[in-house]
Every structure is written in structure tokens, then in C-alpha cells.
Amino acid sequence: MKRKKLKIVLLVVFLALASLFWGYQKVERFANQPLAIQQETIFKLPAGTGRVALEGLLVRDKLIHNGRWFPWLLRLEPELAEFKAGTYRFTPGMTVRQMLTLLASGKEAQLSARFIEGSRLRDWLQVLQESKYIKHTLAGKSEAELAKALGLPEGDTLEGHLYPDTYLYTAGTTDLALIKRAQLRMNKTLQDVWQARDTSLPYKSPEQLLAMASIIEKETAVEEERTKVASVFINRLRLGMRLQTDPTVIYGMGDSYTGNISRKDLETPTAYNTYVISGLPPTPIAMPGLASLEAAAHPAKTDYLYFVADGKGGHTFTTNLNSHNAAVRAYRQVQKEKNEK
């Protein structure tokens, strides 16, 4: 009788252990299965989300097919249940356990906004407006209101004063915070470049160097040409010649610019039309990168006074008007041949 009871007890224990082992295997299989995604997925975990609510979100968003084993996994590995609110990036192949480990780490997704060299303030605001998960606070604000929000003195401009680069941020970061980071970085970069500049250059302030850099940025994207372009404009300033650079005309035209500049546009006075005004424009006309800032601070030593596109992606630099006119004719011939093909 005792032996029979012992067999029954052993059988029950065996079945219980087998059941536990079977359950453990199921939980392990669930923990090690990949999320049901084929591409990077951004997942937002709201503050105050508990275990049951998280399971519901994962099933709702079809990140897991079935949440049956989800609570058991959290009981077996309670450290995975310490998830933190935030916005996270899930990648293909990530397992359920890896996903929970990420949520417990609090390492939110690093999102990015890219601002290119030569872009203008209005371009930056458009990029920010289209960037996902940014908290928008600047919609509808004028440049003057934006400058005020950054604590700038009345009348100061942001044009040219934001450093172009790719900026990383986490969800919920404000557009103003990103603008502030770019502003501080440009201020620091400009001061460093100003301190190391060729002091013989005819700049009266860092703002003028920044304005020159913005013109260089708009005139050429060819790295080795930047210092030559800078030399042309420096030589013109020293001789009292007008800069006569089209990008300043375009900037001064504002929204009336439709892609072409006429002779009338060149002759129409604006605060920025360097065919009409002498010296540099009153403010930068774009956001220059480091290469253009360095070129403005250290131009090449040349006698060049003119340059024109060569039709091949670069420019032809000349020292006198006759040579410049010949270069212009050569450019027009290249364009004519291209159009005839």
C-alpha cells in the first residue's frame, strides 16, 4: 500500500516537473522568438504603462502574435518587467527578451534631423516641421519671434548663425531645443575661426566673416575652389569693387525669385543686391559649413577678380575683364553644345 502511494506521489511529482519543464520551454521559446517585424519600428511606451497594458500594446501593434506566455516570462525574469516610458527603436531579428531588455534600459531611440550646408532658416524650419516625434513649438512664429525665444537682442538675425549638420534627438525634443544646439555650435565655431583668421583681411567683425562664408557656400560646392572664390571677393573688397554675386541678389529677391535672374533683377536695389550695394551684405544669406568658414578666414593668395562656371561642375578664375568675358563665352558654348545633344 505504501509502495503504491509512493508510486502515485512520484508520478504526480514527475508530471508536475514535466509540466513545469514544458512550460519553461514554452516561455523560453517565446522569449527567444523574433518580433513580428520586417523593418525598423519605432515604439512608444507611455508613462505609467504596466505589464498587462504593455502586453496589450505589443499585440495591438502586431509586434508579437500571442501574449499567452508574456506574463510568465516577466515572472521568471522580473528584471525584464522594469521597463521605462519612452520611444524605442525595434530592429528586425530582435527577440522578445532583447526588446524587454531595451525597454528596461531606458535607452530611447536616437532620431535625426539633417541640415545641409547652404540651407536657409526657412529650410531649417521646414525640416523641423517634417521631422517625426519632435515637439513643435515654432509653427507660425516669425524670425523675430524665434530670435526672441532664443534670447537674442532685438534686430539680430538667425540666418547664417546655425551650424549645418545631422543632429540626433529623442522623441519629445522641442524644435526650439535643436535650433538652440545649432546656434550654440555655430557661435563656438565662428569664434574659433575668427580667432585663428588671417588678421590682414578686411573684416570688421565675426559677422562679416560669417556673411562672406555664406556667400562662398552658395557660390561653390567644390572643396578645392572655396579659397579661390574667397580670394576673388577679398580682392574686390580691397579694391573697392562691388562683389556682384548672384546668390545675394536671389536672397534679396525673397519669394519673388522663381529660378531665374533677369538684368532688371540685377539692377533693382535691395539691401542684399551686391551689384548695387558696396561691400558685404548686411547679414549672412545662408548657413555655411566649416569649410566655407575656413576659406573666408584663410583665402588663397591670388590676383583673381572674376570667376564663372565652366559648365563641367567647376569654375574658371580670371584676373581681368577680357579674360573673364572669354571664359563666359566658353561657358555659353559648353551649354549650347549640351542643349544640342
Position of cell 530592429? Answer: 91
First to last CA, the chain: 105
Rounded CA gap, 191 and 147, in Å? 20
pLDDT of residue 66: 79
Q: Residue 269's pLDDT band (boundaries 50, 70, 90)?
A: very high
Q: How far apart are CA 96 and CA 74, in angstroms?
A: 11
Q: Alpha helices, DSSP H only, in the chain?
A: 2-32, 51-60, 70-76, 96-105, 121-130, 143-149, 175-195, 206-219, 226-239, 246-253, 263-267, 290-297, 321-340
The residue ranges of every structural domain in the chain are 29-105, 111-189, 198-340
Please state, in angstroms and rounded to a whole number, the distance separating the CA atoms of residues 228 and 231. Answer: 5
pLDDT at 339: 73
SS3 310: coil
pLDDT tens readout for residues 62-107: 998 877 888 888 888 899 988 899 999 999 999 999 999 999 999 9
The DSSP secondary-structure symbol of 271 reads: T
29-105: what fold?
A: Dna Ligase; domain 1 (3.30.1490)
Residues of the chain with pLDDT > 70: what percent?
92
What share of the chain has pLDDT > 90, as a percent?
66
Rounded to 5 degrees, what are φ and ψ at 117? -60, 140
Q: Considering only residues 197 and 50, tell me which one the structure prediction assigns the higher pLDDT.
A: 197
Q: Whole-prediction pTM value?
A: 0.85
Distances (CA, A) of 173 to 34, 110, 158: 30, 11, 20
